[in-house]
Amino acid sequence: MYYLDYSVVVKALDKVIIERKSKIDNGIIGTLYCFKHSSQPSDKITEKRIPFDPNRVTIDLNHIFSFYEIIEEDFDPKSFFILSKDFDSSILQHLKGEKIDALSLAVILLQSEAFEQELFGSDLISYFIEKFNLPKELIETCFESTNDSIQLAYTDKPTDLKARRKLITEIIPYTKNKLTLDLKGGWLKVAAGSFGQGAYAQKLTTTSNLKDFIFVPKGELQESLSFTEPKATSVIRTNELNVLFFGPSGTGKSTEARRELSQDKGVVSRNITQITFHPEYSYSDFVGSLKPNTLYKNNIGSSYFSSLSDSKPIYKDKEPVVEFKYEPGPFLSACIKAANDDPLTPHALIIDEINRGNVPEIMGDIFQLLDRDLTNYSNSNSELLKYLKEHDKNNVFINGLVIPNNLYIYATINPADQNVYPLDTAFKRRWKRRFWDINYTQEYCNDWRLSICNKDIQWLRFISYINSYLTTKLHLSEDKQLGQFFIKLSSEKNKQEIDEETLKVIGYLWEEIPKSKRGLIFSENIHTFSDIYKQINANEPFSVLFHQELASNLSKLITPKTSTDTDNK
């Protein structure tokens, strides 16, 4: 997993706290966390009464701004907040007309997030908007999306809370006995997340200066408004519960799966579980298994009291005792979460690259449950059944494990990958199938380019030609083609980044195309990947690297270099 390097977080805080002319009211950040932990999707967030989980808001605010350890709790939208009709304009007024840099705020609020891959600026902003369930009008009115306002960097482990506070004091000197970072600069005594007196959450109550656009009713006021939580329900499309996306690498299958679930099926982000299969993935990873848990037993006779007033002894020696506890995998957790919710509230499990894992071994007998016949259940695992019994609130699993009919399962498949397992007919017939084709006019990729032999080629023109060459000249199947998102460039697009992505593309052509066809792609002087590496940045004709016909046609696609390109070198 990847985490934002905390030096990047400090830069973002400097940009938001020090460099901004108008200071951001802490209550505006509290408002964003109300959106994040609302039970309504972002397109319905402007309804008069929006249910949310105040405990989750408190936990997150305390973690990010008061440096508390994160606490895991079940989602419980037991309260609600009210927005004014023109809440976005009111927030902009509180910002004195100065929009918030979206990337900087995303970095600050996602500082503890674990990412499956390193995200560029625009992708991190999109992730932030979806994660925080932000309404479209708020984004358009109050945020400025500058994708390269901060240079992002990642690390493989999160920075501990003590180190975070220390790094922040380099730009905001610490005040003794004050524990909470204030976005106006300085430190505050009270914790960030308390709705009674918290530095961020208290701002959302009726006495706040923000009450012209948001407030959270409490006590008798909430009761007098007769709040009954409306469920985020949807029409469950039972004929589209299992969907398999397939197509060439890099066509955006995972993104489309998530978009369809969110926008078309009404699944809110907190009800989506996303995993990736790989060759080492197992049944116990996916479904669950008994795992050892070490406890420590106090040894009688080895204790002492730290003072005369102590009523409980402190034990010097503790004996480790290992017990086995059933731990659910993402599949079982998603089933239980969906089963314990309203049957009309949609949930989803997304399995990326499903054929990179050994599906028969990973799923075992549960793959038959994909038929979605509630009379067809799995009851062969006694420990699993015991766990289900303890967590089944709505008696869905009385006879055994079933897949609830409000749980969508979407999967993506890349047939071109070398390390893949074939999917048999019995498995595939249980899925609706969606072919996701290459988009050669993808606006997002319009200014992407490769640099081959010190010559620039526009990315979409390159894949349009090379894909045609692979299928018509080499007679390869279309799953060997390159999708528009096969590479990924940031808005900065510096020379090093372009060179690295170019090498990835040429490396794919060398490694993934059958060896018997290499002579139709590469020059007769190319015998090893080392030969490619030597020639790819040489200021030479394409013919030193590619087959004559391919080199000749690629030469017609060369894009003139601009002054900006020269500056980036």
Closest CA to 264 of 227, 226, 235: 235
CA atoms of 443 and 558, how far apart (whole Å) = 20
Residue type, 354: I
CA atoms of 178 and 191, how far apart (whole Å) = 9
Rounded to two decimals, the pTM is 0.65
Determine the pLDDT at residue 149: 81
The 3-state secondary structure of 221-289 reads HHHHCCCCCCCCCCCCCHHHCEEEEECCECCCHHHHHHHHHHHHCCCCHHHEEEEECCCCCCHHHHCEE
Helix (H) or strand (E) holding 137: helix 136-142
CA atoms of 523 and 569, how far apart (whole Å) = 28
CA atoms of 10 and 172, how far apart (whole Å) = 10
Determine the pLDDT at residue 14: 92
- Beta-bridge partner residues of 320: 296
Q: Residue 385 corresponds to which tokens in the numbers above?
A: 């059944």
Neighbours of 563 (CB within 10 A): 7
Determine the pLDDT at residue 302: 56
Determine the pLDDT at residue 43: 66
CA atoms of 143 and 288, how far apart (whole Å) = 42
Burial annotation 489-513 (CB, 10 A radius, 16+ → b, else e) = bbeebeeebbeebbbebbebbbeeb
* CATH ID of 238-286+329-435, from 3.30.43.10, 3.40.630.20, 3.40.50.300, 3.40.630.10: 3.40.50.300
Determine the pLDDT at residue 569: 47
Give 513's Cβ-side CA count (13 Å radius). Answer: 24
Determine the pLDDT at residue 563: 47
Beta strand spans in 180-225 (E)? 180-181, 187-188, 214-215
Helix (H, G, I), strand (E, B) or coil at 309: coil
Structural domain boundaries in the chain? 3-224, 238-286+329-435, 288-324, 443-568
Report, as ranges of residue numbers, the positions in the chain whose pLDDT lies below 70. 41-48, 196, 203, 205-209, 218-234, 294-319, 374, 416-419, 561-569
